Structure formats: structure tokens, C-alpha cells
Amino acid sequence: NAGVTQTPKFRVLKTGQSMTLLCAQDMNHEYMYWYRQDPGMGLRLIHYSVGEGTTAKGEVPDGYNVSRLKKQNFLLGLESAAPSQTSVYFCASARGLAGGTDTQYFGPGTRLTVL
Amino acid sequence: GESVGLHLPTLSVQEGDNSIINCAYSNSASDYFIWYKQESGKGPQFIIDIRSNMDKRQGQRVTVLLNKTVKHLSLQIAATQPGDSAVYFCAENGSSYKLIFGSGTRLLVRP
């Protein structure tokens, strides 16, 4: 099993450009998440999904959109990139156990720089 | 190099010594806790978890202790090795779907 994979690993954008980050998991997990990680600020939840076709906002959703058309994939889109979106982006997935007693498994990250 | 955690608290230990990393959690209703390890340039990696009906759980060279009275979690690493150098995060289940992550502690192992 590859676990959670993310593409691309690195990307540089100019302000105003758009891009999509792809997350894929092969563990048949129900839940998927997108986080951003900035120096000294820990992991902040952008959007998440509790099943195919569903998405929900996290802590810092502004400027991002997501889609979960297939159970194994979770896409994060930036429609008009801003320098404030320079960050490392992590995708995670979880089985979706009742009661929230569930480990999240993380991908290797995408380092995005917006100039 | 990895820029995450420039201002994190740091624990420096001698190789071979035991390490103790502490975490205070926020929600007294949380009933599931996880420790993650994040090496430079990589994603967080699961180390060990514990449910609130336990106060101690052991893994290979790691032990997690939970004190619900004071909402405190600790990770003990026995015989710390250079490969243990990383940032360590605790997490609690903030709701049915989400985890709340601590800000992390950087562990440096001196040879």
C-alpha cells in the first residue's frame, strides 16, 4: 500500500494563478482532510470530507475549494493564489470510526510558494 | 531545510538518555489522544495513541501517559537515538471528525 500520496511535491505560483493539489489514499478510508502548516503555527484544518461527495469547512477555508468526487481522492484548489497561501500543505485520511477515536494518516506534503 | 517550527519549544537530550515530552490538552471531553512525529521535510507520522479509559500505554521504546485530572499528556522515549530527532505533536479528538493538534516540541538528540 502506498498510503496517502500527494502531488505535486513542490510548486511555485505567481499571485493570481490557480492550481489544484491532488491527494490520493489506497486504504479505503472514509474521511479525508487538508491542512496547512506554517512556521510556529502547527497544523490548521482547511477543509475536510466525511465521505465521497461531501465536503465541509475547517478552521481556515477562505481562498480554497475542495472536491471529493471519488472516495480515494481529495482535491484542494486555489482559484487565485495569494502570497499568504505560501505554506506546506498536508493531506490526511482516516477510517471514520464512530465517536472520533480515529487516527489520521498523513501524506508527505506539498510545499507551495506564491510570489 | 524545513522551516516548520522555528519558534517551537526544544528539548535537548543526550543519546541514550530517556526523553519526556509534555502536552497540555484543552478539552476535558476529549477521549482519544495521539502522538505524532514529524521529521524535517516529511508529513506527521503516527507513533502511539491512548483512549481516555487508560492512563498508560506502551509501545516499542515509547510510553504515553494520560492524566485526565490535569488534562496532561506525556510521551516518554526510552534510550533516545539520533533518529528520534524530530518535532513531536500531540492531538486530541475535538469532535467526531476532527483532531486538535498541539503546536509541537522539537527534540534534539546530542551524540
Q: What is the pLDDT of residues B15-56, one digit of tens each?
A: 999 999 999 988 888 889 999 999 999 999 999 999 999 999
- Please state the three-class secondary structure of chain A as a single string: CCCEEEECCEEEECCCCCEEEEEEECCCCCEEEEEEEECCCEEEEEEEECCCCCCEECCCCCCCEEECCCCCEEEEEECCCCHHHCEEEEEEEECCCHHHCCCCEECCCEEEEEC
A10 touches chain B (CB under 8 A): no
Higher pLDDT: B5 or A26? It is A26
CB contact under 8 A, A39 and B51: no
Q: A87, A101, A110, A113: best mutation site toward chain B, by most B Cβ within 10 Å?
A: A101
Does residue B6 register a pLDDT over 80? no
A61 touches chain B (CB under 8 A): no
Q: How many CB pairs under 8 A join A and B?
A: 67
The phi, psi pair for A36, rounded to 5°, reads -120, 150
Q: What is the mean pLDDT of residues A40-55?
A: 91
CB contact under 8 A, B5 and A40: yes
CB contact under 8 A, B43 and A90: yes
pLDDT number for residue B72: 94
- Tell me, rounded to whole angstroms, the distance of Cα A107 from its chain centroid: 9
Residue pLDDT, tens place only, A12-21: 999 999 999 9
